[in-house]
Homo-oligomer: A and B are copies of this chain.
Amino acid sequence: MLFESLLADRTRLMSANAIREILKVVARPGMISLAGGIPSPDSFPMDIIRELGDRILRKYGSSAFQYDRTEGFMPLCEALSVWLQKKGIHADSDAIRITTGSQGALLQLGMILLSKGDAVAVEAPTYLGALTAFNPFEPRYLRVDTDEDGMVPESLDRLLERERVKFIYLIPNFQNPTGRTLSGERRRTLAEIIVRRGALLVEDDPYGDLRYRGQSLPTVKSLAPDHVVYCGSLSKIFAPGLRIGYVVAPEPVRRWMVLAKQGIDLHTSTCTQALAAEYISGGFLEKHLPEIMRIYRPKQEAMLHALDRYMPKTCRWNKPDGGMFIWVEGPAGLDTEKLYRKAVERGVAFVPGKFFFTEPGEGNETMRLNYTMSDTQTLDKAVRLLAGVLSE
């Protein structure tokens, strides 16, 4: 094919994201999707957005539409500086970097830190979109064991003993894909390990604010501030179409990130940053968060109830205190990719868990179920259909 010979070496590694391929099936008419990882549009504060649109035109005028700092729109950095104090993260507005989605943050980290063959330590299973950001830089992935309480610190410590790792990638709260949350004790142990080993940890926290029950746990960033790059996102607590992520990183990481971002997109959209600045500084985020919980909690309860009611005894699943996912483990020998094909014929889609593991052969019996995009009745029906296929 014309120009095929022009391909860079790295491009051969950029296969289409398997989950994105699965999500194409979801678009079929009548399909019930438990496959996505996208927030319900009902959770978007549309009335607030309308008000904020007027407000940014009045307050910032044409400067909300002009080129802006690569580091980020200053009123947004200031608003986040205040907001982050609740998470025990003390960062001046000058130390905050705005990114084009948290995907943009992961890309920048890959770009500045990873040479070909460098090692990144990841949870098993982990978020596939992070690997998509790192893959162009051709790293190796080293798996760290996880269980119901998240990453197993001893497994990480053993890995850091024997391998030079550029960074550890971790989702501590309501992890994608498992919905698991790293326990408080493990956070302290992990913080101790990365400080002792001189390691850098990327704490990706898009779901931390989506807590329906129980107490928030301290961020790893708050426990080891000099060793953690904290990545946040407004996609699940405002709206993903704005593409606003942010980062609090130690020097010199945040300085290199700015150099990388100059080449990536100069800066993130000024007007979406202005909307976000007003959403947070005007107190709208704080007021709207309980509304999002009010939407998601009954959906999660409906899915858990249906799992209890319909699923065969051979299956196990967790009951996360928040987030967007439930992780189901079938009996040994189950192949959820085959199950997926049958389920799609019956009109239900999900993501087979194997796609979230970096090592082939792991997670064949697992699946990720999302509940944010359907109503409670539909969720009941979907789980019933899925259980029917499983029982055959």
Contacts and interface: CB of A to CB of B under 8 A. Distances in A.
Report copies per complex.
Answer: 2
A263 B63 contact: no
Nearest to A131: B263
Given A103-B264, A241-B271, A263-B103, A67 B38 contact: yes
Interface in A3-31: 3-4, 6-11, 14-17, 20
Interface size for chain A: under 10, 10 to 19, 20 to 34, or 35 or more residues?
35 or more
A259 B15 CA distance: 7
A112 B7 contact: yes
Looking at A1, A64, A134, A271, which has the most chain B CB atoms within 10 Å of its CB?
A: A271
A313 interface: no
Interface in A249-295: 250-253, 256, 259-260, 262-272
A64 to B, nearest CB: 6
Looking at A65, A129, A137, which has the most chain B CB atoms within 10 Å of its CB?
A: A65
A66 B38 contact: yes
Nearest to A60: B241
A282 to B, nearest CB: 17
A65 B44 contact: yes
Nearest to A226: B2
Interface of A: 1-4, 6-11, 14-17, 20, 38-39, 41-42, 44, 46, 49-50, 53, 57, 61-68, 70, 100-101, 103-104, 107, 111-115, 118, 129, 132-137, 166-167, 198, 200, 226, 235, 239-243, 250-253, 256, 259-260, 262-272
